[in-house]
């Protein structure tokens, strides 16, 4: 009779635990309880932005500006937006390059034939004058070895070309750094501005401090 008594006790205890919602030792439940919670993922959009600002603001760099006029116009735009900024400029410097070019034939038909051949080869070209003579530029390289190899490839395709060194002036280049853009709306405004300079663009970077 003892085994019957203990069986009844076990049944009653199991029923009591089930009725009162006592947690079971299920492996699935244990894994769910141990899963990490992505607290940032549970934040609302506004709360995420506030957390991002608290972690450090965003600065923005605009440029380069090739002319003083576009540089000044950009400064006025930022002033009208009420943003703090700093202006920097990189002095002009000489850049050595190697130009690959051909002689321009004397008659128009030969010039047209040369242009057509270069077009078929996919070679960008334009005509320029130097010391009273006309030439056809077909490439510009920063390394003499690259220019020399290009001349060889052109010759193999039936185009006689030569190369020479040139000194080009780069700059001055001007930049504007906007200090601590306050919010995403202001950043979007800056990215939408037409700066009036072909090279000018907006990039973001973490602010120091």
Question: Does 19 score more than 90 pLDDT?
Answer: no
pLDDT at 108 (0 to 100): 93
pLDDT at 209 (0 to 100): 56
Cα 104-107-113 angle, rounded to 5 deg: 70
Q: How far is CA 180 from CA 71, 107, 111, 191, in A?
A: 20, 62, 56, 15
pLDDT tens per residue, range 55-84: 457 788 999 898 889 999 999 999 998 888
Task: Kindly report whether the global pTM for this prediction surpasses the value 0.75.
Answer: no
pLDDT at 104 (0 to 100): 93
| Alpha-helix runs per DSSP H in 20-143 | 27-34, 45-54, 68-80, 108-121
Domains belonging to the chain, first-starting first, are 56-92+172-206 (3.30.70.260), 93-170 (3.30.70.1070)
Strand segments, DSSP code E, in the chain are 58-65, 85-90, 93-103, 126-130, 133-141, 162-170, 173-181, 201-206
pLDDT tens per residue, range 88-130: 887 777 889 999 999 999 899 999 999 999 999 999 999 999 9
Cα 53-57-61 angle, rounded to 5 deg: 150
């Amino acid at each position: 009779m003892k085994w019957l008594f203990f069986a009844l006790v076990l049944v009653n205890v199991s029923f009591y635990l089930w009725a009162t919602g006592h947690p079971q030792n299920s492996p699935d439940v244990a894994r769910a309880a141990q899963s990490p919670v992505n607290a940032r993922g549970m934040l609302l959009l506004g709360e995420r932005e506030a957390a991002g600002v608290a972690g450090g603001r965003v600065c923005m760099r605009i440029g380069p500006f090739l002319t003083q006029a576009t540089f000044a116009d950009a400064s006025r735009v930022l002033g009208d937006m009420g943003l703090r900024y700093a202006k920097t400029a990189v002095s002009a410097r000489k850049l050595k390059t190697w130009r690959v070019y051909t002689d321009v034939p004397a008659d128009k038909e030969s010039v047209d034939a040369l242009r057509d051949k270069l077009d078929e080869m996919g070679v960008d070209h334009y005509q320029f004058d130097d010391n009273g003579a006309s030439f056809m530029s077909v490439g510009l390289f920063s390394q003499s070895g690259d220019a020399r190899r290009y001349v060889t490839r052109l010759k193999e395709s039936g185009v006689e070309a030569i190369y020479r060194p040139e000194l080009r002036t780069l700059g001055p280049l001007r930049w504007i750094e906007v200090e601590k853009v306050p919010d995403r709306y202001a950043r979007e405004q800056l990215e939408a501005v037409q700066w009036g300079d072909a090279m000018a663009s907006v990039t973001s970077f973490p602010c120091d401090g």
